[in-house]
Amino acid sequence: MLHSTLLCCTAALAAAKSRGGPSWTAAQREHFATNGYVLQPDVIRPEDRDALVAAFERLFSGEFDTGIYPDEWHWREGISKPDAFREIVNAWKFDDSVAAVALDASIGKRAAELMGWRGARLAQDDVLWKPPGAQGVSYHTDGKYISDNFMPRDDNSVTVWIALDDADEASGVVEYARGSHRWPRASAKASFHDGAGADPVTTAAAAAGVELVVDRHEVPACSAVFHHQDVWHGSAANVSPDRPRRALGLHYIRDDVKFRRDPDYIYGRYDLGDGVVHDAFFPRVYPASPMRARRLGVTVDRRRSSSDAAPSS
């Protein structure tokens, strides 16, 4: 099923000064609660998009400005399959164009508002590149990679998938199993890069005893989809002859989570044994510290950052 949801990006964004998009409407919140995802226009500015797109070649050729390596780096020129889906994780640690967006308090604020959190940390970013002819991403849930590493586990993470090129049927939009964030949680980790396609979600739907309904939405460049940690999603191959489909995924966690015992290999590298989720590795983006807020030019709402404001879940 294709829903052509056209979010106005170009004209509106020409004048837009801030990131994160407009305030959530009641209809958007309801859509997210029911279906597990919601569209949001104007999450970044055209100049952010241009800077991010300009970084792709540089990043995938291994130019890491600070000398810090990515936590994951899928696809190398001359070594990897030309049609592989390309992904770099945690480019904020070495690239200013990614850091400027990934650490932006306004986007973190929208994530926190949608999830009912007091604040948000960046769990990881994802630089996502699907050139013409490249494969898609197998169905999975982000919670298996991210939420499972932290306590409390439920509703502790959300993804902001930001289109850097207009994403459509041909270039392979992210597609969602409608309402699947409410299914019983699957035990197996269905993998992003394993080429299993839609098999895992078909199995999960059968196990949940529900009919699988897949939603696909066009997403214009600079707009985003916010999706719940437990919603099943994936994407098809890019069958367009000449259009890359580039995107930036930002995965946020609730600001007050702790590590669970024995987090997985990648996240476990940042557990220093005290269970504390340290700012240096998982920066708190919202509420921003006053110093960072000044640098970013955002206003911090001090009332929301008070320690007695309990998170909702």
Ligand X SMILES: O=C(O)CCC(=O)C(=O)O
Q: Which is nearer to ligand X, 220 or 249 (CB)?
A: 249
Q: Which is nearer to ligand X, 89 or 296 (CB)?
A: 89
Q: Name which position in 142, 218, 230, 255 contacts ligand X (CB under 6 A).
A: 142
Nearest residue to the partner ligand X, using Cβ: 235
Please state the closest distance from residue 154 (CB atom) to ligand X, in A: 18
Q: Name which position in 216, 233, 246, 284 contacts ligand X (CB under 6 A).
A: 233
Cα–Cα nearest to 84, from 195, 206, 199: 195
How many chain residues bind ligand X (CB under 6 A)? 11
Q: What is the radius of gyration, based on Cα positions, of the chain?
A: 18
Q: Which is nearer to ligand X, 223 or 235 (CB)?
A: 235
161 lies in the site for ligand X, by CB under 6 A: yes
Please state the closest distance from residue 9 (CB atom) to ligand X, in A: 18
Please state the closest distance from residue 289 (CB atom) to ligand X, in A: 27
Of 174-193, binders to ligand X (CB under 6 A) are: 174
159 lies in the site for ligand X, by CB under 6 A: yes
137 lies in the site for ligand X, by CB under 6 A: yes
Dihedral-angle region of residue 297 (phi above 0 means left; psi in -120 to 50 means alpha; beta otherwise): left
Tokens matching residue 193: 């890069």
62/95 Cα distance (integer angstroms): 11
126 lies in the site for ligand X, by CB under 6 A: yes
Interface mask (CB under 6 A) for ligand X, residues 191-220, using x and -?
A: ------------------------------
Cα–Cα nearest to 121, from 281, 285, 259: 285
Cα–Cα nearest to 97, from 294, 242, 248, 251: 248
99, 159, 282 from 95: Cα distances, Å? 6, 20, 16
Please state the closest distance from residue 113 (CB atom) to ligand X, in A: 20
Residues 54-65: b if buried by 16+ CB within 10 A, e if exposed: ebbeebbeeebe
Q: Name which position in 235, 257, 259, 300 contacts ligand X (CB under 6 A).
A: 235
Q: Which is nearer to ligand X, 137 or 208 (CB)?
A: 137
Q: Please, where are the H alpha helices in the chain?
A: 10-15, 26-35, 46-60, 96-102, 105-115, 199-208, 265-268, 290-296
Cα–Cα nearest to 155, from 196, 201, 118: 118
Name the β-bridge partners of 234.
175
Q: Which is nearer to ligand X, 90 or 235 (CB)?
A: 235
Q: Name which position in 36, 119, 200, 249 contacts ligand X (CB under 6 A).
A: 249
Q: Which is nearer to ligand X, 48 or 125 (CB)?
A: 125
Q: What is the DSSP string of 69-129?
A: PPSEEE--TTTS-TTS-EEEE-GGGT-HHHHHHHT-HHHHHHHHHHHT-S-EEEEEEEEEE
Q: Which is nearer to ligand X, 108 or 249 (CB)?
A: 249
225 lies in the site for ligand X, by CB under 6 A: no
230 lies in the site for ligand X, by CB under 6 A: no
Q: Which is nearer to ligand X, 128 or 300 (CB)?
A: 128
Interface residues toward ligand X, by CB under 6 A: 126, 128, 137, 142, 159, 161, 174, 233, 235, 247, 249
